[in-house]
Amino acid sequence: MILNEYQIPGRPGRAGTEYGAGQSMARETIQSVERTFQVIELLAEKGAMGVREIGHETGLHSTVVHRVLGTLVDMGYADQEAETGRYLLTYKMLAVGNCIQERNSAVKLAHPYLAALSEECRETVHFVERAGTNIRYIDKITPTANMFATGSHVGLEFPLAGTAVGKAILAELSEEEVKAVWQDSHIVQYTAHTICDLDRLLSELKDTRKTGFAYDREEREAGLFCVGVSVPDYRGMYNYGISISAPLARMQDERLEEVKQKLWDTRERITSIIGARRKG
C-alpha cells in the first residue's frame, strides 16, 4: 500500500502545524494533486488496472479513484479498455515526458553522438544524470540490429554504486564523499555479483580513477555486462555519464577494448559540445 503523511488518520500538517480554514482548502487542493500523481505513477509502473486494484495499491477510496480517473480520461491522459473496464495511460502522457526531454539541452546535444555510438558498436547505449545517491536514465538508444533487451528505460533510477556508469561518476568524488553516498544509498542485491560491500566498491573506484572506465559485471542483471564513463558539465561537475550494455559473452578481450575506445571518443565529443554550448 502506498501512503503519504497526509493519508495517515490524525496526522497534522508539516512541522506539526494544524491547518486553519483557508489552509485546509489549500491542503485539499494539494492533496488532490498528490492523489492524481499516485494514480499516474501506479499506472505507469503496472499498466492497465481496475478501480479496485488502484484503490488497494494506493489506499485511496474507490470514489476518489473514480474521480481521478475521470479527470485523466476527460483530459486525454488515460483511457478505459472497453473489454475489461481497466484504465491505462495514453500516449498524451508520453508526449509530456518527451517535451521535458526535448528541453533538456544535454540530452538534445548528446543524442546524435550516443545514437552514432550505439549503431557503431551495435549495442545499447545509455545517457544518465546524477540524482542524489542515484543515477537517472535520461536517454537510451538501442540499435536496430540488436535483439538483446535490457530492463532499463528513461526515468528509471538505480543507486550510483549499483551501475557501471554510476561508479564512474562516484570515482570523481573523494573517498569521504563516496562513503557518505554509500551511507545514504539503498543497496539492493540484485544478483550474486552485486556489490554490497563498501571496501570492495572503494577498491574498484581506485581502478576507475586510473583508467576512466567502470564496470558492471552481472551486478544488476544476470548475463549483462556494462562499461561506463563519467561526463562533466560546463561547470566541470561530473553529473552525467554514458554506458554501453551488452551480453557478457559479447564483451570480451579485443571486442571490449574496441568498445571502450569508441565509448571514450564519444565521451570526449559530448564533453566538448556540452561545455562549449553552455558556456556561450
Place of cell 494544524: 18
Cα–Cα dist 117/114, whole Å: 5
- The pLDDT of residue 145 is 72
User: Which residue, 56, 97, 92, is CA-closest to 73?
Assistant: 92
Order of strands across the sheet that contains 134-141: 157-159, 134-141, 124-131, 240-247, 224-231, 214-217
Element (H, E) at 181: helix 175-184
Cα–Cα dist 270/234, whole Å: 11
Grid cell for residue 147: 535483439
The backbone torsions φ and ψ at residue 130, rounded to the nearest 5 degrees and listed phi first, read -75, 135
- The pLDDT of residue 105 is 81
Residues forming beta bridges with residue 157, ordered by sequence position: 136
Place of cell 556489490: 195
Q: How many CB atoms lie within 10 A of CB 211?
A: 12
Q: How many CB atoms lie within 10 A of CB 221?
A: 17
- The pLDDT of residue 253 is 85
Cα–Cα dist 41/241, whole Å: 26
91 φ/ψ sector (left φ>0, alpha ψ -120 to 50, else beta): alpha
E strand residue ranges, 212-260: 214-217, 224-231, 240-247
What pTM value is reported for the model?
Answer: 0.65
Residue 11 near residue 19 (C-beta atoms within 8 A): no
- The pLDDT of residue 27 is 57
Per-residue pLDDT of the chain (280 residues; tens, 9 = 90+): 233 332 323 333 333 333 344 555 455 568 889 999 999 999 998 999 999 999 999 999 999 999 999 999 999 999 999 999 999 999 998 888 776 665 568 888 999 999 999 999 999 999 999 999 999 999 999 887 766 667 778 888 989 999 999 999 999 999 999 999 999 998 888 888 988 899 999 999 999 999 999 999 988 888 899 999 999 987 788 999 999 999 988 888 899 999 999 999 999 999 988 864 444 4
CA distances (Å), origin 93, targets 51, 127, 142:
19, 22, 22
Q: Which domains does the chain have, with CATH numbers?
A: 5-93 (1.10.10.10), 104-279 (3.30.450.40)
- The pLDDT of residue 235 is 79
